[in-house]
Amino acid sequence: MTGKTEFLSSLVIGLSLLAGCSVSRTVNEGKILVTQDSPIFDKRFESVTIKDINLKNFWVQGDSSDEREPVPLDNHTFSRITEQVKRAVVNIYTIRLEERDAKFGIAPNDLLPIRIPLVSAILDIIPFQVPIPFKEEGYSLGSGFLINREGYILTNAHVISNSVNIRVVLSEGKKEYPATIIGIDRMTDTALIKIEPDFTPAVLPFGDSDKLKMGEVVLAMGNPLGFQHSVTSGLISAKERVAPSASDRYVNFLQTDSAINPGSSGGPLVNLHGEVVGINTAIVEHAQLIGFAIPINTVKDVMGMLITGKTERGWFGAHAAPISPAEALELNYSESEGMIIKGVEKDSPAEQSGLKINDVITQLNKMPITNLAILRRKLLALVPGQEIHLTIFRDRETLEITSTLARKKTGDEIKAEPAS
């Protein structure tokens, strides 16, 4: 890249030594070492609430109508889409704080002139060396994409987590821009950062991830292993996948066989109309062509949280699971879809609203709950103090329940449990 700075040069040299998204490994990957008081966080929306935000024009919404014509495939279809999309895809390089262990003390075998097996074995169990955690700066790389002309960029939370310096490089690779963090949502592994562009950016429109079909062709773009602005093609292998990590159990992923490698995290997964349908986020170690992306409709629901930087979830205190045919028959419930209440926590907003075990939730805020994935996604956007409206089925009657979410105690806001 012409005019590459010392920052990027050092980063690329470091990356050649490791096969991962981060140049150095932290002791505790999930630990927050850089708080929102840091200068890397943009404070422009700190006094704004989600209710104050109008998201109507914050991103460009693609055409999600069912009447849209299919995209014809020829030997240049992918290259045309790539040329259209790549101008809005960026590479992200960061310097971040990392916590590592240093061994302090004398190694047991250093006490012996030669290694005596029995004595050495005894010394090995004595804690002569004590691990002491310390902080140092490390490097990481990832990807992202521009979503509006003001310079806002979507990426993964883990790409910029604990960053003290962020640099964004556009597809031409001729110039880098410093970036600040608008908001991070670690629960959905999404983040919003901002550059101050001195040009009119190309942006990517959002598609409708709910309308994706299994077997649909998609393209993944990003910065895999430092190879800038790469594209791979594949299919939607599955939808509504439970996260491979237990810590990500709230998000239902898109599964794709489009290659997603370390460094691709945060890049867009696009359909053949050039619309973003997901954010590339995870790979399964030792697997071939199994990657995961956060559905873009999940990102739409949490965008208000990302803008305000306030990601605390509201607490309702109910546990729900998809209703089974046997349960529906027992309750005289004639529909095949709905979430049955399995438990109500004491002194919770759910209990105070009158919700009971075996109530069947059919709508949340007037939106039909057709499956577990939709309920999980809607719960991610609920904040303390927010009023929610539930339509429930009980004793052959349809009832309306209104409640105000509280600050979360231990546990989840409305636990949505997998079907047994």
Residues 265/21, Cβ–Cβ less than 8 Å: yes
Residues 309/183, Cβ–Cβ less than 8 Å: yes
Write the CA distances from 117 to 122, 123, 125, integer angstroms: 9, 10, 13
Helical (H) or strand (E) element with 237: strand 230-242
**230: burial class by Cβ within 10 Å (0-12, 13-18, 19+)?**
buried
Residues 154/190, Cβ–Cβ less than 8 Å: yes
Sheet hosting strand 163-169, strand order edge to edge: 176-178, 163-169, 89-105, 129-146, 152-155, 190-194, 180-185
Closest CA to 94 of 170, 192, 21: 21
Please state, in angstroms and rounded to a whole number, the distance separating the CA atoms of residues 11 and 230. Answer: 18
- The catalytic residue among 185, 189, 257, 359 is 189
- For 148, the token pair is 């509006």
125-129, long-range: CB within 8 Å, 24+ apart, which pairs? 129/103, 129/104, 129/105
Please state, in angstroms and rounded to a whole number, the distance separating the CA atoms of residues 123 and 108. Answer: 5
* 189 part of the active site: yes
Residues 259/197, Cβ–Cβ less than 8 Å: no
* 158 part of the active site: yes
Write the CA distances from 345 to 95, 338, 361, 383, integer angstroms: 43, 20, 17, 18
Burial 169-184 (b: 16+ CB within 10 A, else e): bbbeeeebbebbbbbb
Sign of dihedral through CA atoms 60, 56, 191, 245? negative
- The catalytic residue among 265, 348, 359, 403 is 265
- The catalytic residue among 143, 158, 248, 258 is 158
3-9, long-range: CB within 8 Å, 24+ apart, which pairs? 3/174, 3/175, 5/167, 5/176, 7/93, 7/95, 7/165, 7/167, 7/176, 8/93, 8/167, 8/169, 8/176
Active-site residue set: 158, 189, 265
